[in-house]
């Protein structure tokens, strides 16, 4: 335990850098490890909440990585009981098999625990401070990060649907220590913080102290550079969003012809932002380079593909399609009867709906494609091969394997909502109705 108040010690000069009490407009969930940073944050936000009348809770994540982890839970519970704060404890398993390193895997487990604990409308408050920001900036610079990575942590960001707030980010750690001593706070020390095996600890224990010997305000300067990078990134993000709105001709479909008209650097940013905007994992640098090399050369008949994690970018007819790496097909031999009254759930996760009519005159048979089907189109005297019709509709090859076909007495009435036969078209028009197909895998 640490934190006895220093005898005769007035408010340290560093404490003047600590934030003043702020009004809180949303209930708070505070990440509380029991260390000095989160102890100061919890104490300060409790004072803010008491002034504002705001609800406040704390959450402690038990990683099981230290022998004293159970004692830390007990300390946090006792402190929260003394302050009248509700504490939630999450015990997690740190899975280091994903190649993130122990620190990265623990961070991922923490974020998952925070996300699971957050209630509707709550803001998550975390205790990262200026020195943490300087370390993050240095770590990313040493890994060759660009302006996006060097932006480091944001004071305001999102964790899913929730606000993630780091109110102490502009504050040096010395100010937090001064605050803790001024208020005689009690905290715990993680023994791993004195080990320099982890990159962040090496910077904290050896590099930043050396920099401060020459440049006393090194941490603040590095954190300031992160702020400048973040401002630059935000401006670039705005430009990227405007360009994507111009390049995206349909949801998850990007015009490669238009993308070739921008610089390679801008094209790289656009591809990164485009996949992130649709909830896909970030493009690794190697995959991004592969995408630029394979997708940008002009050739309408190319069908290049790049994959990462469980996603893919597929080129077809000079467009880039963002897809799941493995799209489900309708099972061979699948067949069902459907009257149109309720939406039909398809086995690949898709859906078929009839809008504007209560149901079909007679139930129809819906099945997967077998090949060789023919359909009578409106205004035609003879039937046509469905394969030819789909090619004329420019339906992507991976979508053809997902098409549900609608039959009545062995006659093909429709291939989803892509190709409609003359009899079904007349029936739909007479009722002001329409078919709607949502493919699976999106």
Nearest residue to 92 (alpha-carbon basis) of 72, 79, 74, 107:
107
Contact present, 271 and 243 (Cβ < 8 Å): no
Instruction: Please work out, in degrees rounded to the nearest 5, the angle formed at the alpha carbon of residue 63 by the alpha carbons of 61 and 68.
Output: 100
| CA gyration radius, the chain | 29
Q: Would you say 101 is a known binding-site residue? A: no
Chain-centroid distance of CA 235 in Å reads 20
Nearest residue to 141 (alpha-carbon basis) of 203, 89, 76:
203
Structure tokens at 130: 């200026």
In whole angstroms, what is the distance from residue 2 CA to residue 187 CA? 6
Nearest residue to 417 (alpha-carbon basis) of 432, 395, 388:
395
In whole angstroms, what is the distance from residue 440 CA to residue 435 CA? 16
In whole angstroms, what is the distance from residue 299 CA to residue 316 CA? 10
- Give φ, ψ of 270 to 5 degrees: -65, -45
310: left (phi over 0), alpha (psi -120 to 50) or beta: alpha
Nearest residue to 86 (alpha-carbon basis) of 57, 47, 121, 62:
57
Contact present, 141 and 101 (Cβ < 8 Å): no
Q: Would you say 34 is a known binding-site residue? A: yes
Q: Would you say 37 is a known binding-site residue? A: yes
Beta pairing partners, 164: 124, 157
In whole angstroms, what is the distance from residue 104 CA to residue 95 CA? 10
DSSP one-letter code for 383? -
Nearest residue to 258 (alpha-carbon basis) of 247, 268, 269:
247
Structure tokens at 331: 């099972």
Structure tokens at 185: 């706070």
Q: Would you say 366 is a known binding-site residue? A: no
In whole angstroms, what is the distance from residue 37 CA to residue 129 CA? 8
Residues within the annotated binding site?
Answer: 33-38
Residues within the annotated binding site for ATP?
Answer: 33-38
């Amino acid at each position: 335990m640490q934190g006895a108040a220093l005898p005769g010690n007035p408010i340290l000069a560093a404490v003047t850098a600590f934030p003043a009490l702020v009004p809180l407009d949303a209930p708070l969930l505070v990440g509380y490890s029991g260390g000095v940073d989160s102890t100061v944050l919890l104490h300060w936000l409790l004072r803010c909440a008491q002034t504002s009348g705001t609800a406040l809770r704390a959450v402690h994540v038990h990683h099981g990585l230290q022998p004293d982890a159970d004692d830390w839970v007990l300390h946090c519970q006792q402190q929260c009981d003394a302050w009248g704060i509700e504490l939630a404890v999450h015990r997690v398993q740190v899975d280091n098999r994903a190649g993130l390193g122990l620190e990265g895997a623990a961070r991922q487990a923490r974020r998952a625990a925070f996300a699971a604990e957050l209630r509707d409308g709550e803001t998550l408050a975390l205790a990262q401070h200026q020195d943490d920001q300087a370390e993050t900036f240095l770590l990313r610079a040493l890994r060759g990060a660009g302006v996006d990575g060097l932006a480091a942590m944001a004071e305001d960001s999102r964790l899913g649907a929730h606000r993630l707030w780091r109110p102490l980010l502009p504050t040096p750690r010395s100010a937090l220590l001064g605050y803790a001593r001024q208020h005689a706070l009690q905290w715990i020390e993680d023994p791993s913080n004195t080990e320099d095996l982890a990159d962040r600890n090496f910077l904290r224990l050896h590099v930043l102290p050396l920099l401060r010997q020459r440049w006393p305000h090194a941490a603040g300067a590095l954190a300031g550079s992160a702020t400048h990078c973040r401002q630059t990134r935000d401006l670039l993000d705005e430009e990227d969003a405007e360009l994507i709105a111009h390049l995206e001709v349909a949801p998850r479909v990007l015009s490669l012809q238009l993308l070739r008209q921008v610089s390679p650097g801008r094209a790289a940013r656009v591809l990164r932002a485009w996949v992130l905007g649709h909830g896909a994992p970030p493009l690794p640098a190697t995959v991004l380079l592969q995408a630029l090399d394979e997708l940008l050369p002009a050739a309408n008949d190319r069908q290049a593909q790049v994959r990462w994690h469980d996603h893919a970018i597929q080129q077809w007819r000079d467009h880039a399609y963002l897809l799941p790496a493995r799209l489900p097909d309708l099972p061979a031999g699948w067949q069902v009867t459907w009257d149109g009254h309720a939406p039909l759930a398809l086995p690949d996760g898709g859906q078929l709906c009839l809008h504007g009519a209560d149901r079909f005159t007679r139930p129809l048979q819906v099945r997967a494609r077998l090949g060789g089907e023919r359909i009578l189109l409106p205004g035609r005297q003879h039937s046509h091969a469905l394969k030819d019709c789909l090619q004329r509709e420019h339906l992507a090859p991976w979508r053809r394997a997902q098409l549900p076909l609608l039959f009545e007495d062995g006659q093909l009435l429709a291939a989803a909502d892509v190709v409609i036969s003359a009899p079904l078209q007349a029936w739909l028009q007479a009722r002001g109705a329409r078919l709607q197909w949502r493919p699976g895998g999106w």
